[in-house]
């Protein structure tokens, strides 16, 4: 049994299900709101990790809740709402977990799982469209929400998705055309990779399919100018025990380094496969970005792990106590697109980090600054969540860090670029303060991370550690 003395401060943020709040004016703790910061910050993450005496099996199982922070001329207001999915409502009525999930099987005999679909937790990311917000999840359709009050409007099929098609959690928006690129995995003995291109309103315009080898875990892909790049890590689901309700997906995932990492390169317009290849085995959750360099080669940047221990670490997060080290670092992979031949593959930063992002103006283009979460100096990764944000300068190889102090945990930093600089501006992060058991929004000047935030805004309730977010300009 884990004693209270062993628990780190971050565990308090997820010890109880999160409390919703309606649209509420936010008070300033310190500093001033930048006069040119107008729009909305949205964040999504698992907010309920227990019901009654039941605990989820994995951090990925928690019910999704969305935070919206609206910056207007009249001031700043916040709203926090659970996504009212069918599974959430059914389990709320029974006050019990009744569906299988990524890290859970349904309670009772195996046929309880066999007859139930996995719950759409709507807990991973968000996509802001002109008329609605999409709450995204790995294995199903998105849920549409009202942009202002975050009320749930229902499942969204983007005008074309079939009942069996998923729309994954990491779409890429081309800053030039507004086109939205994404994919979804269709489960099977040999899974189907469904590729999508949508217009700027979210309407599906083009799709294609590709058959994969086995059932891999693909969480993200890279949009690199003319190409869509997938790095398929050597993790495979043993589907039979999942289908029979004997194991969860997480427990059925196997690390198979002998398979190597598969490289798949698709054309952005036709979504047709251009080339495929293989390289060293590793695992990655997230890409920072990609582009085509002056030699015509694809440059990708991502957080790389030596193996799949990261899944065990993330499983432990849900318990409030972690002990499995699973450090990931930034790597750059250069690929010849017509052959998928690896030109170079190297680590570019030593710091243990995750959730790498670039300016929305630089998605699919060459860029200078990668923003991400890292650890404070001297912190042991296996015991702590990320407790600093950083800016990695790809030209100098240097990393600037905003160290917020002990027991303070920021979310993935979201850049809002200024009009005169496409890669710098205001860096927004939602922070949990384990010293006071409270949450706030902090705004940093992106090129002055060593300085205190320019503004801190108090939130009405604790916001559990979240996964991904976005900024929608006013």
pLDDT tens digits, one per residue of 222-269: 999 999 999 999 999 998 888 777 888 999 999 999 999 999 999 999
In this predicted structure, the answer to whether residue 380 has a pLDDT above a threshold of 80 is: no
Q: Which residue do the tokens 């689901």 mark?
A: 237
φ, ψ dihedrals at 6, nearest 5°: -85, -20
Residue-level pLDDT at 93? 95
For the chain, how far is it from start to end, CA to CA, in angstroms? Answer: 49
Is residue 439 in a domain? yes
Interior angle at CA 316, CA 169 and CA 46, nearest 5: 35
Domain-embedded: residue 1: no
Q: What percent of the chain has pLDDT over 70?
A: 97
Residue 2, in any domain of the structure: no
Q: Do 275 and 340 form a contact (C-beta atoms < 8 A)? A: yes
User: Do the domain assignments include residue 41?
Assistant: yes
Predicted confidence at residue 297, as pLDDT, reads: 98
Q: Of how many residues is the chain composed?
A: 474
Per the structure, the complete domain to which residue 126 belongs is given by 7-473
* 168 domain-assigned: yes
Q: What per-residue confidence (pLDDT) applies to 5? A: 64
Of all residues in the chain, the percent with pLDDT exceeding 90 is: 87
pLDDT at 403: 94
User: Tens digits of per-residue pLDDT, 265-317?
Assistant: 999 999 999 999 999 999 999 999 999 999 999 999 999 999 999 999 999 99
pLDDT bin (cut points 50, 70, 90) of residue 1 is: low
CA 31 to chain centre: 29
Q: How far is CA 454 from the centre of its chain?
A: 26
User: Is residue 109 scored above 60 in pLDDT?
Assistant: no
The tokens 């599906």 sit on which residue?
204
Tell me what pLDDT residue 346 has. Answer: 98
pLDDT at 382 over 80: no
The whole-number pLDDT of residue 301 equals: 98
Q: Which two tokens stand for residue 399?
A: 């990393």
pTM here is 0.96
How many domains, the chain? 1
Which of 392-420 are b and which e, b meaning 16 or more Cβ less than 10 Å from the residue's Cβ?
bebeeeebebbbbeebbbbbbbbbbbbee
3 state DSSP class of 211? strand
| CATH code at position 69 | 2.130.10.10
Q: How far apart are CA 183 and CA 168, in angstroms?
A: 6
Which residue's structure tokens are 């009942």? Answer: 163
Sheet containing strand 222-224, strands side by side: 222-224, 227-232, 261-267, 273-279
- Higher-pLDDT residue of 231 and 108 is 231
Q: Is residue 34 part of a domain?
A: yes
Q: Among 110, 185, 122, which residue's Cα sits nearest to residue 100? A: 110
Q: So what's the pLDDT on residue 9?
A: 95
Return phi, psi of residue 61, to 5°: -85, -15
Task: Identify which has the larger pLDDT, 298 or 164.
Answer: 298
Q: Residue 353 falls within a domain, yes or no? A: yes
Kindly state whether residue 125 falls inside one of the protein's structural domains: yes
Give the pLDDT of residue 110: 54
Q: How many other CB atoms sit within 10 Å of the CB of residue 239? A: 17
DSSP state of 180: E
How do residues 39-68 score in pLDDT, each as one tens digit?
A: 999 999 999 999 988 999 999 999 999 999
């Amino acid at each position: 049994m884990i004693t209270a003395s062993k628990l780190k401060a971050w565990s308090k943020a997820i010890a109880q299900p999160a409390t919703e709040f309606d649209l509420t004016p936010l008070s300033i703790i310190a500093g001033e709101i930048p006069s040119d910061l107008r729009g909305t910050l949205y964040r999504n993450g698992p907010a309920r990790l227990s019901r009654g005496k039941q605990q989820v099996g994995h951090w990925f199982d928690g019910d999704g809740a969305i935070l919206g922070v609206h910056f207007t001329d009249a001031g700043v207001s916040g709203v926090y709402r659970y996504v009212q999915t069918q599974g959430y409502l059914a389990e709320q009525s029974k006050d019990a977990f009744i569906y299988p999930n990524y890290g859970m099987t349904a309670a009772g005999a195996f046929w309880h799982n066999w007859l139930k679909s996995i719950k759409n937790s709507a807990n991973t990311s968000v996509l802001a469209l002109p008329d609605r917000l999409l709450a995204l999840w790995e294995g199903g359709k998105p849920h549409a929400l009202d942009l202002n009050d975050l009320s749930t409007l229902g499942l969204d099929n983007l005008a074309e998705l079939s009942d069996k098609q998923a729309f994954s959690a990491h779409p890429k928006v081309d800053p030039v055309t507004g086109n939205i690129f994404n994919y979804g995995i269709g489960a099977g003995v040999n899974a189907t990779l469904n590729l999508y291109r949508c217009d700027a309103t979210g309407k599906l315009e083009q799709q294609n399919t590709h058959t994969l080898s086995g059932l891999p875990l693909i969480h993200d892909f890279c949009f690199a100018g003319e190409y869509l790049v997938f790095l398929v890590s050597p993790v495979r689901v043993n589907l039979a025990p999942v289908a029979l309700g004997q194991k969860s997906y997480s427990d059925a995932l196997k690390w198979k380094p002998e398979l190597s990492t598969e490289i798949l390169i698709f054309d952005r317009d036709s979504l047709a496969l251009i080339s495929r290849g293989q390289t060293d085995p590793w695992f990655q959750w997230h890409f920072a970005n990609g582009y085509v360099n002056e030699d015509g080669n694809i440059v990708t940047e991502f957080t790389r792990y030596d193996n799949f221990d990261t899944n065990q670490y993330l499983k432990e997060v849900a318990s409030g106590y972690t002990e499995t080290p699973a450090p990931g670092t930034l790597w750059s992979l250069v690929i010849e697109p017509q052959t998928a031949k690896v030109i170079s593959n190297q680590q570019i930063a030593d710091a243990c980090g995750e959730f790498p992002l670039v300016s929305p103006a630089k998605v699919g283009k060459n860029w200078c600054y990668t923003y991400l979460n890292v650890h404070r100096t001297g912190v042991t990764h296996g015991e702590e969540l990320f407790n600093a944000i950083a800016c990695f300068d790809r030209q100098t190889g240097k990393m600037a860090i905003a160290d917020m102090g002990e027991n303070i945990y920021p979310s993935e930093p979201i850049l809002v670029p200024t009009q005169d600089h496409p890669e710098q501006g205001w860096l927004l992060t939602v922070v949990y303060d384990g010293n006071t058991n409270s949450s706030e929004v902090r705004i940093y000047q992106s090129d002055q991370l060593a300085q205190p935030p320019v503004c801190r805004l108090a939130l009405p309730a604790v916001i559990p550690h979240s996964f991904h977010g976005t900024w929608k300009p006013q």
